[in-house]
Amino acid sequence: MRELEERIRRDGIVEDGDVLKVDSFLNHQMDVELFAAMGREWARLFAEEGVNKILTIEASGIGIACVAAQQFGVPVVFAKKSRTKNIAGDVYRVEVPSFTHGGVSDVIVSKRFLGPADRLLLIDDFLANGAALEGLLELARQAGALVVGAGVAVEKAFQPGGDRLRAKGLRVESLARIQSMSPGHIEFC
Ligand code: 5GP
């Protein structure tokens, strides 16, 4: 999506360690008009899929998922990073390694909000090694829900997540795909 690529070129900051900072428009300060354009694009791409719910992961996926959900007219469920071990059996649970922080989060969704009747679109801000989306896929699997695809804002295509998920048969629609980046330079696919 040209508008997102242009914004990344203008305002994105490449940090050491293969991290792109987009906190002036995507995951700290948020440009909601840009989010709306992204939501319209995912709604167009997944129009035939009968999406009835969007599933994302705390925290930075939530804003884009909410704006996208308005285009689909469906609710959003966000998987929560849990601090307390919940052993009551009322949640689906998965461990997700964090790309940006290191460490592993225990990620949960209440069994009340996902189930076999759901046709899910997964949404996240970045796709790097694929751990976040793999975690959401696992939660959907536990719920017996169908995942129709994943909408990603920024895919770092030089990292293995996108290829890995597509090889598994997941439809991944990334609105900007970065082929390579270094401080001061970003090349799109
Ligand atoms: P993955 O799980 O695919 O390795 O990484 C995706 C998650 O890590 C996203 O939810 C996102 O929050 C974070 N992430 C990965 N790469 C970047 C990056 O370059 N910049 C930012 N801001 N977040 C990233």
Nearest to 171 by CA among 147, 143, 189: 147
Residue 182, beta-bridge partner list: 185
Cα–Cα distance between 7 and 131 in angstroms, integer?
26
pTM: 0.96
Give the nearest ligand 1 atom to 57 CA.
10
Cα–Cα distance between 119 and 126 in angstroms, integer?
22
CA of 19 from ligand 1 middle (Å) equals 8
Residue 150, classed as helix, strand or coil, is strand
Residue type, 186: I
Give the nearest ligand 1 atom to 22 CA.
22
Cα–Cα distance between 48 and 27 in angstroms, integer?
29
| pLDDT tens profile 77-112 | 999 998 766 656 799 999 999 988 889 999 999 999
Substitution site in 29, 100, 170 for ligand 1 pocket (most atoms within 8 Å of beta carbon): 100
Phi, psi (degrees; rounded to nearest 5) at 150 = -130, 135
| pLDDT tens profile 45-85 | 999 999 999 999 999 999 999 999 999 999 999 999 987 66
Ligand 1 pocket member 20 (CB < 6 A):
yes
Q: What is the CA radius of gyration of the chain?
A: 16
